[in-house]
Amino acid sequence: AEHQHARYNPLRDDWVLVSAHRVKRPWQGQLEKPPPEDVPRWDPNNPLCPGATRANGEVNPQYEGTFVFPNDFPALQPDAPEPGDSDHPLFRVAAARGVCKVMCFHPWSDLTLPLMSLEEIRAVIDAWAELATELGASYPWVQIFENKGAMMGCSNPHPHCQVWASSFLPNEACLEDRTQRQHRSQHGVPMLVEYAEQEARRKERLVVENADWLVVVPYWATWPYQTLLLPRRHVCRLQDLREGERDSLASIMQRLLIKYDNLFEVSFPYSMGWHGAPTGPYLEEDCGHWQLHAHYYPPLLRSATVRKFMVGYEMLAQAQRDLTPEQAAERLRSLPELHYKRRDK
């Protein structure tokens, strides 16, 4: 808790430097602007709102729940041509095809997931599972991710996420596939199933838990308040969750995200995403080494205006953090589960 040391991340097969003694240093770096608190519930100029006109001229329906539509500026397209052949092994190229979708969680722009009801969050989970099934029928990888807040590149203040399906396994998927496969081969049990059991017993990095799920600040966390959401049961894919597990997932997501917002009493920015067993042709293969999980990567470090930057040593050597995962977990764990905006009510 007080001296520098390195911790191994078995999921990524790399190390993070923990410099606990630096947490007391004064901050004289860049201060971020806190997110606006006066977001209008409906804005005709916000392309994610019901009835608004998007950049391609299409008008959104007057949706009342979740709403999914093709990304107007997709990073992946299904009909991209084959790239030309490479003339040297140092200049390799490969085909990349896919589809990109946007999913709105709710029609109101002034809501975020922690302020939505459990029924509304459950509807989001069901929509995620439906998209994972639909796109996973043909694509090897379906990446569901949410960038929350302008600090994380979210250009439209509206509760939403993105879903990209690709004809290839991305780097992180390939890495986690290799490490999880290797762990099960060597130890006879899926890595993250064993890890969840260990963290549930030790409790020092536990943030919230219920009968089906637990959230921890992982032992190898890089970001200050990074968390890992894990099922207790062995589940390979989001679409494999049982009805009760989807209900309890909605509950634990709400509890975690309320704690995030309560930490600095601000709409907490983060990038999050689901990782599960590959799909498409992999549906016919043994993917039992995989365990479904969600990563949450928030950038805030000391306050709503002070963030962690991945620069210098992190870019050129290896990841480094000051606050220990145990300290971060204790702080999150101690926060109330009533949202700060609703305390007076």
DSSP string, 59-104: BPP--SS-EEEE-SS-S--TTPPPPPPPSSGGG------EEEEEEE
| Residue 160 bears catalytic tag | yes
Residue 59, annotated as binding a ligand: no
Helix (H) / strand (E) element for 216: namely strand 213-216
Residue 268, annotated as binding a ligand: no
pLDDT tens per residue across span 104-138: 999 999 999 999 999 999 999 999 999 999 999 99
What the chain holds in terms of domains, given with CATH numbers, is 39-342 (3.30.428.10)
Residue 313, annotated as binding a ligand: yes
Q: Provide the pLDDT for residue 270.
A: 96
Structure-token match 């929350």, residue found: 148
Q: Are 35 and 266 in contact (CB under 8 A)?
A: yes
Residue 287, annotated as binding a ligand: no
Residue 320, annotated as binding a ligand: yes
Can you give the C-alpha Rg of the chain in angstroms? Answer: 21
- The tokens describing 223, both together, are 């970001």
Residue 176, annotated as binding a ligand: yes
Q: Provide the pLDDT for residue 26.
A: 62
Listed as own residue / partner, the contacts of 19-28 with beta carbons closer than 8 Å and 24 or more positions apart are: 19/320, 19/321, 19/322, 20/322, 20/323, 20/324, 20/327, 22/322, 23/322, 23/323, 23/327, 25/322, 27/302, 27/306
Number of Cβ within 10 Å of residue 114's Cβ equals 22
- Report the greatest alpha carbon distance in the chain: 67
Residue 155, annotated as binding a ligand: yes
Q: Provide the pLDDT for residue 153.
A: 80
pLDDT tens per residue across span 309-323: 889 999 999 999 989
Catalytic residue among 106, 158, 160, 183: 160
Q: Provide the pLDDT for residue 24.
A: 63
Amino acid, res. 158: H
Task: With a cut of 70, list the residues of the chain below it in pLDDT.
Answer: 1, 23-31, 345
